[in-house]
Amino acid sequence: MMSFQKEKRLVRALYSALERASPNRIGHVLSEFMATDALWRGFHPFDELTGAEAVAEQFWKPLRLSLSRMQRRQDIFFAGKNEIDGFTGTWVVSMGHLMGLFDRPWLGIAPTGKMVFLRYCEFNRIENERIAETAMYFDIPHLMMQAGLNPFPPQTAAHLVQPGPLTHDGLLFDDALDAEGQATLATINAMIGDLGTWQSGLPLEEELAQSWTDDMVWWGPAGIGATYTIERYAKQHSGPFRAAFKDRSKTRHLARLAEGHYGGFFGWPNFTARHSGGFMGMPGSDRPGEMRVIDIYRRDGKKLAENWIFIDLLHFWKTQGVDILKRTVAIADS
């Protein structure tokens, strides 16, 4: 059985040290775990940062100062070899919420003094016992909505603070059997083959049924929402989404891996597509838009049962000429 204990311990030690550190010590803590030239990718407005000090000063320190008494509440934790680079690189994945008391402004969003949850998913590539690369994706519109802002038109599915897996077994601190991870990765790849082009020729619900259990749950980002069962997923997201886009590029992932019954991938971007109109109630555009996405999956038997999705909708709409974050904060301040 392949062991990822060294890599998992490194990431867990970082999380523990971050939780104990004062905001002014975060840069020092990160420098103990990150390579000097580590690349960090985050959702808009952070984008790409290099090195521990930049990540601390631009992302972690402001967030910690805004969300006092912050806790990392993990729902999923696993590791694996990256299929995209020929199973050479090792990545550790964490998903859940960063919870705190929203006591100071963040990104221009006014504080509430109440609990808020920032949905996140983080991929860390470990090399030479250091974090060499990170994808840290987080749902800023979800936090905005908890703070009473409405960045988007009414969404097609449900807005929720999202729970972890139905089975409550997503924290793989111990290593799982290789065969289980291989089965999960094969199931994810079959789904990508079915859905990645939107051109299977089958009716949508029949196409989805090839890869998904009938009682699937799609935990989508704020602005789209969460939906339950193949029928409602087709009606509340997948069908409208496909109808609103054309000229989709091929899927491009930077990492794709699995362990046990859990797996996922991310891209930068995953694909581009041209919005012909209607997605999230917004007008169309002639410009191709970038979709930066993380997908995390839980497999049940031979099919996928749950899917947690992180889409940088702020970046996507900015590529379409609309700065949602700036516009929403400005309206709230007026």
From the first residue on, what is the mean pLDDT of each consecutive set of 10 residues in the chain (334 residues)? 96 98 97 98 98 98 98 98 98 98 97 98 98 98 95 88 96 98 97 70 90 97 96 95 91 96 98 94 92 98 98 96 91 76
End-to-end C-alpha distance for the chain, whole angstroms? 59
> What pLDDT, on a 0 to 100 scale, did the predictor assign at position 199?
61
The contacts of residue 50 (CB under 8 Å, 6+ apart) are 37, 38, 39, 40
Q: Which residue, among 209, 211, 213, has the nearest Cα to 192 in the 3D structure?
A: 211
Cβ-defined contacts of 51-54 (< 8 Å, 24+): 52/27, 53/27
- The residue behind tokens 């963040």 is 106
The model's pTM = 0.96
> What pLDDT, on a 0 to 100 scale, did the predictor assign at position 256?
98
Confirm if 154 and 267 have CB atoms less than 8 A apart: no
> What pLDDT, on a 0 to 100 scale, did the predictor assign at position 197?
57
> What pLDDT, on a 0 to 100 scale, did the predictor assign at position 271?
95
Structural domains of the chain, ranges and CATH numbers in brackets: 5-146 (3.10.450.50), 178-333 (3.10.450.50)
> What pLDDT, on a 0 to 100 scale, did the predictor assign at position 220?
96
Give strand ranges (E) for 206-316. Answer: 212-219, 226-228, 245-246, 255-259, 262-266, 271-275, 288-291, 293-300, 303-311
